[in-house]
């Protein structure tokens, strides 16, 4: 029965990736005007997830050289982006490389969600249900920001939803691996958290912030700053009210 609860929970969490379907009802011109505020929200949400969610959770494990793994995450995402950029430069693709970086970082994050859900249900059904609800509330702002990044990066709405859903399915993989190899997977969770935190920092600071600088007038800059703060505050609020 526990496995059924776990599978139901991760499938529901994965389906949250389709929240971007709301964008299908928005006119393309209207959507384009809101790109930079949405990118600002995404950057804020990513920084919030790194500093108020992933890092605090990982630090509780008291592993040695904690921030070395954050640095390794940053360097790994830098090297990966360089490879993707080189590949796309030679193939003359119109898709920005940071879209794939975001999918990679989000995939790791979703994998961790699956591990956490399994661990919670294996402790008790009640804890598993509460944890699933908390993750669902975390996912709402995260999925909106992810969808915004993919659309701005050059994906069509349908392609953005499909790839976002595929990234979300890593939670199912994480849940099943955690169930089958619980003790082994639990040992690497804090390292994956730090790694993902480094990835989110890299994407927000080196990819999303420079994109927003393309609009430099005061009104646009103010909107971007407000959007960044809203993204940070939303993640902070959810993390404090419903900590996983």
Tokens representing 44 are: 């804020």
pLDDT of amino acid 25 = 61
| Rounded CA separation 189/195 (Å) | 10
When pLDDT is cut at 50, 70 and 90, the band that residue 244 belongs to is low
Nearest one of 62, 154, 43, 63 to 105, comparing CA atoms: 43
Q: Which of 228, 238, 130, 117 is nearest to 182 (CA)?
A: 117
pLDDT at 222: 93
Query: What are the Cα distances from residue 153, in Å, to 37, 144, 157, 186, 201?
Result: 14, 14, 11, 34, 18
Residue 171 pLDDT: 93
pTM for the model stands at: 0.71
pLDDT bucket at 172, cuts 50 / 70 / 90: very high
Residue 3, Cβ density class (10 Å: 0-12 exposed, 13-18 middle, ≥19 buried): middle
Closest CA to 78 of 106, 97, 58: 97
- For the cut 70, the answer to whether the pLDDT of residue 71 exceeds it is yes
pLDDT in tens, 134-162: 778 667 767 777 787 888 888 888 888 88
Of the two residues 155 and 68, the one the predictor is more confident about is 68
pLDDT in tens, 115-128: 888 888 887 788 78
């Amino acid at each position: 029965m526990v496995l059924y609860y776990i599978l139901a929970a991760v499938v529901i969490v994965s389906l949250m990736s389709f929240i971007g379907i709301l964008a299908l009802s928005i006119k393309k011109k209207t959507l384009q005007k809101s790109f930079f505020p949405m990118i600002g929200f995404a950057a804020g949400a990513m920084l919030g997830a790194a500093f108020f969610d992933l890092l605090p959770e990982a630090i509780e494990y008291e592993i040695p050289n904690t921030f070395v793994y954050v640095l390794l995450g940053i360097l790994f995402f830098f090297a990966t982006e360089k490879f993707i950029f080189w590949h796309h430069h030679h193939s003359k693709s119109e898709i920005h490389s940071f879209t794939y970086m975001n999918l990679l970082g989000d995939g790791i994050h979703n994998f961790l969600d699956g591990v956490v859900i399994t661990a919670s249900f294996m402790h008790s059904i009640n804890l598993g249900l509460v944890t699933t609800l908390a993750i669902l509330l975390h996912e709402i702002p995260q999925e909106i920001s992810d969808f915004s990044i993919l659309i701005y990066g050059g994906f069509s709405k349908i392609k953005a939803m499909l790839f976002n859903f595929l990234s979300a399915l890593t939670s199912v993989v994480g849940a099943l691996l955690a169930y089958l190899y619980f003790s082994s997977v639990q040992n690497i969770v804090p390292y994956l958290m730090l790694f993902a935190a480094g990835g989110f920092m890299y994407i927000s600071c080196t990819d999303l912030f420079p994109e927003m600088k393309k609009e430099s007038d005061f009104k646009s800059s103010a909107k971007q700053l407000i959007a960044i703060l809203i993204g940070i505050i939303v993640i902070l609020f959810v993390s404090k009210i419903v900590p996983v």
